[in-house]
Structure 1
Amino acid sequence: MAPHEAGRAAGGRPDDVYAAPLSGEPLPRYRMPDREADPRVAYALVRDELSLDGDSSQNLATFCTTWADEEARRLMAENLDKNMIDKDEYPQTAEIESRCVRILADLWHSPDARNTVGCSTTGSSEAAMLGGLALKWRWRERRRAAGADASRPNLVCGPVQICWEKFARYFDVELRRVPLEQGATGLRPHQLRGHVDENTIGVVGILGVTYTCDYEPIAGLAAELDAIQHDTGLDVPLHVDAASGGFVAPFCQPGLEWDFRLERVASINASGHKYGLAPLGVGWAVWRTADLLPEDLVFRVDYLGGDMPTFALNFSRPGGEVITQYYDFVRLGREGYRKVQQRCLDTAEALAGEIAGMGPFTLLYPGTGALPAVSYTLTDPGAGFTLYDLSDRLRTRGWQVPSYPLPPDRDRTVVQRVLIRHGISADKAALLAEDMRRSLEELSSGARGGGERIGFHH
């Protein structure tokens, strides 16, 4: 019998999935099987294992997109074979990437949106690292041109996401993380002078702090760097990590100046697969003007069929996410993005009101003015339970709600955060609030969980 015929019953009919040979033993853990299997059976058994994962729609820890419409799913499937790096073989996919860069440059008020530079990436982390590399290269060129030492670069920031720690470690840059002031939700402008010096390659401002969901005052940071240059001569560029806020602020807070309207802002990174609404696997890096991306960082590849410039940490990667991002731009337009994000903001604000009324919480960020989210602490640390206990209790109902310590003093303030994304309806938020009340009643009666610390996701 041929291998592909194994698992067929008499008369040529396929066996029942759970009567097929493959289903009679655990799936391989350590060694590839010798024989091939019926794809129908392999699919069913792997799918069964994946059912043990959490429900992504109840994951209120992640910023990432967990919902996509049918047309987006079809585009992803139809373009499964396209390699984003192979621009000569897939010129229209490359053109779509360029269109997205120009659209984002225009959205973020580049002074020359049609001619500036940018690129797609696998996510905002890679895009942030590319922005950091450009800052380091330009700083090093200036130092060498002045005959100065260029061996001790530093980057100044507040409570940034771990990708910036990776950047600093991988590319040998000192990361100067400014401590949060009491009651602050991010870096404050007056803190910069104590940390910026001649070795500072740039300052990172965050439009949507991972830990609190608030925006840092980007315009204030830019103004302070202008003042520092006036007083000391130090010309320090500003990079905006707009991983999430870059797809919220333009539509719901259009008057907020955080982007290329500020001359001090040299580059911006954002995540298409967060509030950009695209499926997982796409981010964006855009520079204010083309000259701010050093030519030395751009490689030219000629062995894929043409002379192609590339600036990325990865090489081969799928093109479907970029194509679907463009589909979102075409389908939703500015009006559609505004409707989606405003509905999320409205839901977050309503949930914040529910949480504030439950009693034991103090809101850090109430769901208005920045990201569609809520963050809060326990008002009384001696309440008899912790936020980690509450995370555990909510997990029994399927909710993934993270609790974590605020940096840099990780022994003092523990925060809980709920993110509202596209696909999290007002009804689902109301159900969460009901389960929170029920969990608080159980915890107050002494029925606590095991206290396992539930992490957060960027």
Structure 2
Amino acid sequence: MAISSARSSATPPEDSAEPAGLTDVYAHPLSTRRLPKHRMPQGPHDPDTVLQLIRDELDLDGNAAQNLATFCTTWSPPQIHRLMDLSLVKNMIDKDEYPQTAEIEARCVRMLADLWHAPAGGGARGCSTTGSSEAAMLGGLALKWRWRAARQAAGKPADRPNLVCGPVQVCWEKFARYFDVELRQVPLQQDATGMRPEQLSAYVDENTIGVVAILGVTYTCDYEPVRAFAEELDALQRKTGLDVPLHVDAASGGFVAPFLHPDLEWDFRLPRVASINSSGHKYGLAPLGVGWAVWRSAEALPEELVFHVSYLGGDMPTFALNFSRPGGSVIAQYALLLGLGREGYRRVHQSCADTAAALAEQIAEAGPFTVLYDGQGALPALSYTLTDPDRAGFTLYDLSEQLRMRGWQVPAYPLPPDRGETVIQRVLVRHGISRDKADLFAEDLRHCLRRLSGTGPDAGAPRVGFHH
């Protein structure tokens, strides 16, 4: 029977019945109209159709495999996918209902405390979090509580706490604002990739709750010299009596340095390091949703910040900003620690570091760039800037736009004060970024340079915005 053009172009009503036996999702009524965006639909819809239509929308996101901007895990083996499915119902806060999940969390804490050289028998404490940002805030809270208790015990005012740091991730700015702490952010020296120890004495005083050292600076990917910070603070204590603890923000480096730089002293081997935060879903290789906070000892974590939950006749101390949260990524973290072991993590990260170093060589040879960090000695990553921005004829923002036309996501941003006039790009090489993929990126980058400089075959073509 013929169908009139008016009838076929009309949008069927939302509650129209789905044809019996029709299995093609793009012929279902839900596929022939715009998806609801402001009100829930009145009735149910075929779940396969809903799945496909939402998947179609998600296809408009950037390709995670080409995302060179994120530190986060974008590839996991199939066994981890299956574990995440099995763990869908596990709630980390319900330790009575899921005691084995709580035990797995405790195993991870013990393994990380050992990996980061916590004193044997010292009673290291720790917990999982939703990511390194929450873990950093917990570390900051412990510093503030310890400082306040010491000030009150000495009969001194405790109303003007400050925290000293270099170019930190925005989570520390949030911590300072949310918990009423002055953030003393030390400006970058010329040609420096992070805070330097000789800068500390000008910023530390009796109201300093702690100093944050970054093992893997967000902007440049380099390590700050944690041991040198500790030595500077030791000298400051001998001179002034101020005993200022160190917190190491090892969001990325905490799962890299132990395997690629085992002799680097940055962790609890330094007595001044009171606490460490890290991200399991970055170079810890776990899926999104897990971070870790570990304290040297029970004394480093004030008891009033800890809540105790009893399960199976035992005691499980908890310390977190969130309440209900999924346990799958914690379970996946344990599976990775167990399955890869130290040698497996070393191989994965060494492969990434070798790829980063090779890519840095290609960037340096491309012509207009100065490499700031070449992937050696810190994170498997690289950062670079234009050697002569005034004569390049384009900006790194232009280059980012061009790279996105091929699907690559590479950030361009200014360095923090006092080097805000320097704009850089950063490339992160993670598990899943192969040498071949890095070479493909380098070739696309060279093509973009030819286009921007007017020397490529399509140099005269009109510029267009990012599209799929």
Q: 1:438 aligns with which of 447, 451, 457?
A: 447
1:364 match: secondary structure: strand
Could you tell me how far apart the structure 2 residues matched to 1:113 and 1:292 are?
15
Equivalent AA in structure 2 for residue 59 of structure 1: N
Query: After the TM superposition, which residues 170-209 of structure 1 pair with which residues of structure 2 at under 5 Å, given as runs?
Result: 170-209=178-217
* Aligned twin of 2:3: none
Of 357-366 and 298-307, more deviation after overlay is shown by 298-307
Structure 2 residue 101 is the aligned partner of structure 1 residue 93: yes
CA distances 1:226-268 after superposition (whole Å, capped 9, x unpaired): 0000100000000000000000000000010000000000000
1:227 matched to 2:239? The reply is: no
Paired residue type of 2:18: G
Instruction: Please state how far the C-alpha of 1:310 moved relative to its aligned partner.
Output: 2.1
Q: How many angstroms does 1:298 deviate by?
A: 1.1
What corresponds to 1:455 in structure 2?
A: none
Cα distance between partner residues in 1 of 2:398 and 2:435? 25
Indicate which of 288, 296, 299 corresponds to 2:296.
288
Shift of 1:115: 3.1
1:83 to 87, 91, 116: 91
Match of 2:145 among 137, 145, 148: 137
Q: CA deviation at 1:290?
A: 1.6
Written as runs of structure 1 = structure 2, the 5 A alignment for 1:235-274 is: 235-274=243-282
Superposed counterparts of 1:96-115, under 5 Å: 96-112=104-120, 115=123
Deviations 1:111-140 (CA, angstroms, capped at 9, x unpaired): 036831100000000000000000000000
Q: Secondary structure at the match of 1:95?
A: helix
Residue number in structure 2 paired with 1:429: 438
One-letter code of the match for 1:168?
A: A
Structure 1: tracts of 5 or more residues without a match? 453-458
- Cα displacement string for residues 292-338 of structure 1 (whole angstroms, at most 9, x for unaligned residues): 10011012457999975321000000011000000000110001000
Q: Return 5+ residue gaps in structure 2 as ranges.
A: 1-13
**Aligned position for 1:418:** 427
Cα 1:258–1:450 change in 2 (3 A) is farther
Cα distance in structure 2, aligned partners of 1:203 and 1:443: 43
- Counterpart-to-counterpart distance in 2, 1:363 and 1:217: 20
> SS in structure 1 opposite 2:223?
coil
In the alignment, is residue 353 of structure 1 matched against residue 361 of structure 2?
Answer: yes
Q: 1:62 aligns with which of 63, 70, 78?
A: 70
CA–CA distance in 1 between the matches of 2:252 and 2:314?
35
Change (3 A) 1:71 1:113: farther
Corresponding position of 2:221: 213
CA–CA separation in structure 1 for the residues paired with 2:22 and 2:315: 51
AA aligned opposite 1:7: E
Cα 1:386–1:451, aligned 2, differ >3 Å: closer, same or farther? farther
Contact between 1:102 and 1:113, CA under 8 Å: does it hold in 2? no
Q: Aligned with 2:192: secondary structure?
A: coil
Residue 96 of structure 2 contacts residue 311 of structure 2 at CA under 8 Å; is this kept in 1? no
Larger Cα Rg: Structure 1 or Structure 2? 2
2:45 to 37, 50, 69: 37
Q: Which residue of 168, 171, 188 maps to 2:176?
A: 168
Amino acid at match of 2:85: A
1:117 aligns with 2:128: no
SS at match of 1:187: coil
Return the offset for 1:408. 1.7
Cα gap change, 1:38/1:403 in structure 2, threshold over 3 Å: closer, same or farther? same
| Alignment-derived partner of residue 51 in structure 1 | 59
Cα separation, 1, equivalents of 2:314 and 2:325: 18
In structure 2, distance between residues paired with 1:403 and 1:169: 26
User: In the aligned structure 2, how far is the partner of 1:6 from the partner of 1:84?
Assistant: 41
Residue type of the alignment partner of 2:207: N
- How far 1:5 sits from its partner (Å)? 11
- Tell me how large the CA RMSD over aligned residues is: 2.0
Of all paired residues, the percent bearing the same amino acid is 72
Q: Which residue of 1 aligns with 2:7?
A: none
Which residue is equivalent to 2:5? none
Partner Cα separation in structure 2 for residue 400 and residue 304 of structure 1: 48
Match of 1:276, as an amino acid?
G
Specify whether residues 96 and 190 from structure 1 end up closer, same or farther in structure 2 by C-alpha distance, changes over 3 A only: same
In the TM superposition, residue 4 of structure 1 has moved relative to its aligned partner by: 11
Native 8 Å contact 1:267 1:285 kept in 2:
yes
Question: Partners of 2:343 and 2:194 in 1: how far apart?
Answer: 30
Q: Does 1:310 find its partner at 2:318?
A: yes
Conserved? CA contact 2:15–2:42, under 8 Å: no
Q: Provide the rounded CA distance (Å) in 1 between the counterparts of 2:279 and 2:464.
A: 35
In the alignment, residue 373 of structure 1 is paired with which amino acid? A
Post-superposition offset of 1:393: 0.3
Task: Write the distance in 1 (CA, Å) between the matches of 2:69 and 2:374.
Answer: 16
SS, match of residue 389 in structure 2: coil
Give the aligned partner of residue 396 of structure 1.
405
Deviation at 1:29, TM superposition (A): 0.9
How far apart are the structure 1 equivalents of 2:437 and 2:420? Answer: 33
SS at match of 1:47: helix
Query: Which residue of 2 is the match for residue 369 of structure 1?
Result: 377
In structure 1, give the amino acid aligned to 2:206: E
8 Å contact from structure 2 (residues 74, 432) kept in 1: yes
Q: Distance in 1 between matches of 2:274 and 2:106?
A: 19
How far apart are 1:7 and its partner, in Å? 2.1
- Superposition TM-score, scaled by structure 1 size: 0.94
- Give per-residue Cα distances to partners, 1:164-220, cap 9 Å, x unaligned: 000000000000000000000000000000000000000000000000000000000
Following superposition, the deviation at residue 8 of structure 1 comes to: 3.8
Instruction: Verify the 8 A CA contact 2:405 2:465 in the aligned structure 1.
Output: no
The change in CA–CA distance for 1:308 and 1:246 in structure 2 (over 3 A counts) is closer
Tell me how many residue pairs correspond in the alignment.
Answer: 447
1:60-79 per-position Cα deviation (integer Å, ceiling 9, x unaligned): 00000000000000000011
- Once residues 246 and 407 of structure 2 are traced to their aligned partners in structure 1, the CA distance between those partners, rounded to angstroms, is 40
Question: Which SS does the other structure have where 1:235 is aligned?
Answer: coil
How does the TM-score come out when normalised to structure 2? 0.92
- Is the contact between residue 117 and residue 269 of structure 2 (CA under 8 Å) also seen in structure 1? yes
